[in-house]
Every structure is written in structure tokens, then in C-alpha cells.
């Protein structure tokens, strides 16, 4: 069901499946691999295999089509919602800091996919 309320996002968001590795920043957890459901300059929606507490910082390695190298980011979990019991979670992540080079790559990716519509 599509959200019909007022748009509160500060930056445009696109639906897109991009490969991302993630792990809890301050832990020696193993890295898991998944893909995004959507992406914006401010963050992303990611499918994860476990629930994360809001406020958890994740180390992210995101691969986008306009850069051959993965970008290393840090994100904070906004919400993690169970989709399939004990198996699949939709995890909303806000990027904490993105350098100018990677901001440009994310903007280029969002712009390209918006045009594809």
C-alpha cells in the first residue's frame, strides 16, 4: 500500500536494487550482504536478515553503477521492521556522513533512475 501522506523527505528517493554489505559498526560481527530497496542522498531502505535497534550504527559498503569502487559509509538505523517472521526485515537507514565525491555519485545515480522513471 503506497503512502498517501505529505512527503517529508528532504532529498528525492528512487526505487533501486543495489548491492550492499553491512555490519554493526562497533562490533566484530560478520558482514552480511543484501540489496537496497530504495536510495536517496539521505539514506536507504535495506533488506536485512535480522532486526536492528533504532540508533544502531552500521558500517556499509554500497556498490552503485556509476562508480567501479564500493563506497564506504556509516549509517544509523531509523527503524527495522519484521517482514517475514524471524527471517526478513526492512531496515531504514540514515547516512551519518557522506563525502563530496560519494554525494555526487549518489546524486548521479538518483538522477539517472528518476529519468528512467
Query: What's 67's domain CATH number?
Result: 2.40.10.220
Inside any domain, residue 6: no
**pLDDT at residue 117 tops 70:** no
Inside any domain, residue 43: yes
Inside any domain, residue 30: yes
- pLDDT, residue 81, reads 97
Work out the average pLDDT over 87-99. 95
The single-letter DSSP state of residue 104 is H
Total tally of structural domains belonging to the chain: 1
The residue range of the domain holding 98 is 13-116
pLDDT band at 1 (very low <50, low <70, confident <90, very high): very low
Phi and psi at residue 53, to the nearest 5°: -70, 140
- pLDDT, residue 8, reads 56
Give the C-alpha separation, 117 to 107, whole Å. 15
Rounded to the nearest integer, the mean pLDDT of the chain is 90
Inside any domain, residue 4: no
Summarised one tens digit per residue, pLDDT across range 39-90 is 999 999 999 999 999 999 999 999 999 899 999 999 999 999 999 999 999 9
Amino acid at each position: 500500500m503506497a503512502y498517501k501522506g505529505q512527503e517529508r523527505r528532504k532529498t528525492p528517493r528512487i526505487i533501486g536494487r543495489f548491492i550492499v554489505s553491512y555490519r554493526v559498526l562497533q562490533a566484530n560481527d560478520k558482514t552480511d550482504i543484501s540489496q537496497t530497496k530504495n536510495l536517496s542522498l539521505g539514506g536507504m531502505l535495506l533488506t536485512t536478515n535480522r532486526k536492528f535497534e533504532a540508533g544502531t550504527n552500521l558500517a556499509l559498503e554500497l556498490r552503485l553503477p556509476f562508480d567501479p569502487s564500493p563506497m564506504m559509509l556509516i549509517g544509523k538505523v531509523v527503524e527495522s521492521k519484521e517482514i517475514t517472521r524471524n527471517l526478513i526485515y526492512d531496515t531504514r537507514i540514515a547516512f551519518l556522513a557522506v563525502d563530496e565525491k560519494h554525494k555526487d555519485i549518489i546524486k548521479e545515480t538518483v538522477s539517472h533512475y528518476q529519468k528512467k522513471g
